[in-house]
Every structure is written in C-alpha cells, then in structure tokens.
Amino acid sequence: MLHLLKYRFLQTLRNYSMMFWALVFPIILGTFFYFSFGTSGAEGWGETEWESVKTAVIEEDSASENAQIFLEFLNRLDGDILDLKRVSSESEALKALTNEKVRGIFYVKETPSLTVAENGIPESILTSLLDNYNQNTAMFREIAETHPEKLKEASSALENYRTLLREESLGGNSLDPNVQYFFALIAYACLSGAFLGVHSSFDSQANLSSLGARRSITPTHKLKLVLVDMTVLVTIHFINILILNLYITQALGISLGSDISSLLLVDFMGSTIGIAIGLALGCISKFSLGTKLNATVAITLVPGFLAGLMFGNMKNIIELHCPIINRINPAAVLSDAFYCMSIYNDMERFVRCIIILAAMSILLVFLAFLGIRRDCYDSI
C-alpha cells in the first residue's frame, strides 16, 4: 500500500501539464478577476456608495388614508434607498420591469402590494420594505385601539430607525456582489481536479498506456487501486485548493470568511468531487487521452459557468427558473456552501451542500470501480 501511495504521489507531481490546470490556471484566473474588478475586490468591499433601487410606483387608489400614508412612506425613501419612477399604467410598469429598467413595482392602494421579476438582493430589499410597512401599520393600529396615549411615543421611536442599522450580512461580513466570482472560481478550481483524475485513470488501463499494462498484471484488487489513486489525488488537490485560498486571502486581500474549519471542509469536499469526476470519466470510457481531456474541459467549464464564473447572476437565474440544476451542479453546490459559510451563516443549508457533495463523490468512485473491475485483455 505504501509503495503504491508513494509512486502515485511522485507520478502526479511530475505531471506538470495536469498540475498547471489544477493549480496554476485558477491562480492566473483569480489574478485577472482581481484586476478586472479593481480595488473593489480587496479589503474595501462593502465600502462603495449605496446605489438606490430603481422602483416603479403606480397610484391605483391614492384617495384612501392608508394609500396616502404609504405614498408618503415611499417619498421619504426616494433618493436614499429607492429611486422612484412614477408611471401612469400597469403595462408601462411591467414593460420597464421586463427590460430591467426597474427592479420592482409598488402599487399604492388601500392594501399596498409589490411585484418583482427576479429573486435577488434589490428585490429582497423591496419586499422587506413592504413587510416592515405592513407590520408597522398593524402595530400602530393596535396601539391606537388599545393604548392611544402611546401613539406619540411609538412614532418617535420609529422616526430615526435607520440610524440604528448598518449593512452587514447574516454572518457579520460585508456583502459585495463581486465576491460571488471568487466563490465560483474556487468551485471551478475544485472541479479542475478532474484533469488529475482523468490522467490517473488513463494510467490504469492496459489498452491505453504501458503503465496501465504493468498495473493490470498485478494481483492488487482493482478497488484498492482506485482508492489509492483517490487518496493521493485528493491529498494533492486539497493542497492545491489551500494554496489558491491563501493566494486569494493573503495576496489579493479578499475575505473568504472567518470560519476556518468550515472553509477547510468545503475545500476538502470540493477536491474530492473534482477527483471523483475525473476518475469516473476516465474509467467508464475507452476514448483516447486527448478526447477525455477535451471532455474534461467542458465538464469543468460548463458547471463553472452555470455557477456564475463568467456571469455572476447566472446561478440566481437558474434558481428562479430551474432550481434542480443548482442541486446537481457540483460547482453551484460548492458556491452555495461558501455563501452559507461566510455570508448567510445558514448551517442547515451548509450541511445539505456537504451531504450532496459526499453522495456525488461516493457514486462517482463506485462508477469508476465498475468501469475497470472486469476489464480483461487477450494479451498484455
């Protein structure tokens, strides 16, 4: 066992072309991201000027008292939190919403309502504003009915409520939209371990390489060979991902959160799923190494794109229209785990992501074993 571990370890480290794609290329890509985003990608994230949410307003019934109060509430937020655009018809407002000229539509009437088209941060702000207004309205109505003498005191307490607020994520860290690109980058780097896995499986098949011929005539059980390769490759790629993390946090100054243990767990599971994808792809197909590597490029880039590597809002669009893709896309699951760890502080969702990655890894390793366990050759 030690002999197999040692020589697989040395062989992998000497495979410079595969190590380039697994380690060096993600670092280069991260550097490009940093310079593309400028100084907003470093420690100053979250310190940029707040951009008001573009919102359409339709006055359906401004005669009622509650509608007038709600309209006054919106006017006080105009220019600060909101950038209001008054429209005369619903069709005009819906057209602006479809063209993304506004992020939501407020309907001013006896019972105010809101229409949004997506599920993002601006839409969440608009929903929160309406919810807070409805809650405060209900509270004042109850106070007026039960303790009318307390109305003035309650009104004073709410007058300067915004001075008590500061913009933070649920985990206590500043939320900048550009950080999602680096989460997707690390997820892509994890999946790039598939290059190591594919090349390793190529060296285990007698009809494809001379090393595979020598390994095939040994009495060592095929499952043992797969597990040895998996152990060595995961260890090496885990170190690759740690190096990338250190480069992003120390050299680029970008925070990935303060929960080191959770970060290490996500990195480890990401390394595992990347290697498992490569082993499965290499073992279940009999194509040439070049064909398998071309397929690996697609297998790493497409999930990365769907997770927001090239277009940051892609994962949110998929979540809105076809969320099942985000559940089976390992890059999206990894990116989601990073969000849960450093932004949302949602441990239940974080554990779900880890379980999904573990189940995928086990299934892929099993497929890799099935792919080579009954291989027979007329002559070696």
pLDDT single digits (tens) 171-182: 545 555 678 888
Asked whether residue 358 falls in the same domain as residue 266, the answer is yes
Q: C-alpha angle with apex 41: 21 to 33, nearest 5 degrees? A: 30
Same domain? For 118 and 206 the reply is no
Residues 318 and 363 in one domain: yes
Q: Is there a single domain that holds both residue 208 and residue 278?
A: yes
pLDDT at 165: 44
Residue with tokens 């005009």: 92
pLDDT at residue 153, rounded to an integer: 60
Residue-level pLDDT at 203 = 67
Q: Say what the pLDDT of residue 45 is.
A: 44
Q: 8 and 100 in one domain?
A: no
What pLDDT does residue 161 have?
47
User: From CA 61, how far away is CA 324, in angstroms rounded?
Assistant: 41
Cα→Cα distances 187→6, 81, 92, 191, 209, Å: 28, 33, 41, 6, 31
Nearest Cα neighbor of 266 from 186, 344, 193, 324 is: 186
Q: What's the predicted TM-score (pTM) here?
A: 0.62
Q: Given 108, 138, 164, which residue is the final one in a domain?
A: 164
| pLDDT tens per residue, range 284-332 | 767 777 888 888 889 899 999 998 888 767 888 898 888 899 999 999 9
For the chain, what is the radius of gyration of the CA atoms? Answer: 27
What is the C-alpha separation between 109 and 64, in angstroms, rounded? 7
Structural domains counted in the chain? 2
> CA 172, CA 186: separation in Å to the nearest integer?
22
What's residue 39's pLDDT?
46
Instruction: Write down which residue in 133, 164, 195 finishes a domain.
Output: 164
Place of tokens 């959770």: 262
Q: Are residues 217 and 238 in the same domain?
A: yes
What's the pLDDT score for residue 238?
96
Residues 26 and 59 in one domain: no
Q: What is the pLDDT of residue 236?
A: 94
Would you state the torsion angle of the CA atoms of residues 315, 316, 318, 322, taken in this order, to the nearest 10 degrees?
Answer: 130
The segments of the chain whose pLDDT lies below 50 read 38-48, 160-165, 167, 169-170, 172, 377-380
d(CA 352, CA 98): 34
Q: What is the pLDDT of residue 302?
A: 92
CA 307 – CA 327 distance, rounded (Å) = 11
Task: Indicate if 207 and 353 belong to the same structural domain.
Answer: yes
318 and 367 assigned to the same domain: yes
Neighbouring CB atoms inside 10 A of 111's CB total: 12
Q: Is residue 125 part of a domain?
A: yes
Q: What's the rounded Cα separation, in Å, for the pair 51 and 45?
A: 14
Residue 380 domain flag: no
Structure tokens at 367: 């497929």
Q: Which of 145, 97, 108 is nearest to 130 (CA)?
A: 108
User: What integer pLDDT is reported at residue 237 of this predicted model?
Assistant: 94
- Residue 246 domain boundaries: 2-44+173-372
User: DSSP letters of 27-89?
Assistant: HHHHHHHHHHHGGGGTTTTT-SPPPPEEEEEEES-TTSHHHHHHHHHHHHHBTTTEEEEE-S-
